[in-house]
Amino acid sequence: MHLPKVNIKARYALGMTCIMNGFYALAVQHYEEALRLCKHDPDHEDLPDIYYGLSDACRLSGNFERAYSYGKMALELYEKRGARSKEGRIHNLLGRICFQMREYHEATDYYMEALSIATLENNPRMLLLNFTAMADLRLAENRLDDAKRYCERAQEVAKLVNDDHFCGMMYLVLGKVSQAEGEAAEGEQRHRLFEEAKALFENAKTHLCLTQPVRILPRRTAD
């Protein structure tokens, strides 16, 4: 029996599984097949999630232009359907895509919109995700004071979140910020900050290893 809805959901599920296991090119194939099966049903319930999956898989594959295009399609559908929490999620993803393309101004806009939605919905997980993202973004812009401020906010909301991946990513960014502080310091303070960064990277590794194998590579420093 031909069951297109079942086939769509199966392809969508396979795409998610491939992403979780690091098979990004294969994930794109499964999502594209799900999209093809949806072509005669523009109102299919899974269509925006398929675009989201395609966006994330393309981002992870390094194809940022396609990732951005699919992300914008997902955002348009989430907005049309009033799926507020998913709007926040895709704003965060679009921010990450812009961040990786070094489009920092655009990344800020997307992250701030995601933060606004997370605040309105009182969603600690998404607040943690976006505070962490903003800290990483400000660090990339060499705005260390702002990066530290977002780190503080992330740590405050992390007390309400029981998620090893999100907390692990927070500790990773905290470590990067402490490392950057150490690189700008001297003497005993420099040593203390590098030791603090090392401990934070270890915390990140502990949390992230509970969700998937990980190899943390902090930026090279010179004592």
Of 130, 60, 127, give the one whose Cα is nearest residue 100: 60
Nearest to 169 by CA among 140, 142, 130, 208: 208
Q: Residue 100 falls within a domain, yes or no?
A: yes
Q: What's the CA angle centered on 191, arms 189 and 196, to 5 degrees?
A: 90
Residue 20 located in a structural domain: yes
Is position 141 within any domain? no
Percent of the chain surpassing pLDDT 90: 82
| Residue 42 in this model has a pLDDT that exceeds 90 | no
Q: Is residue 129 part of a domain?
A: no
What local confidence, expressed as pLDDT, does residue 95 receive? 98
Per-residue pLDDT, 212: 67
pLDDT at 223 over 50: no
pLDDT band at 3 (very low <50, low <70, confident <90, very high): low
Q: pLDDT per residue over 45-66, tens digit each?
A: 899 999 999 999 999 999 999 9
Q: Is 16 exposed, middle or buried (0-12, 13-18, 19+ CB in 10 A)?
A: middle
Indicate which CATH number applies to the domain containing 37.
1.25.40.10
46 is a domain residue? yes
Domain annotation covers residue 218: no
Question: How does pLDDT run across 172-183, given as a tens digit for each residue?
Answer: 999 999 999 999
Q: Which pLDDT score, from 0 to 100, does residue 182 have?
A: 96
pLDDT surpasses 80 at 216: no
Containing 174, the helix (H) or strand (E) segment is: helix 164-183
- Exposed/middle/buried for 112, CB within 10 Å: 0-12, 13-18, 19+? middle
CA distance 164 to 61: 24
Q: If we measure between CA atoms, which residue out of 82, 6, 87, 11 comes closest to residue 50?
A: 11
Q: Which domain holds residue 58?
A: 1-107
Contact 85, 59 (CB under 8 A): no
In a domain, 154, yes or no: no
- pLDDT score for 150: 98
pLDDT at 1 exceeding the cut of 50: no
Average pLDDT, the chain: 91
Q: How many domains does the chain have?
A: 1
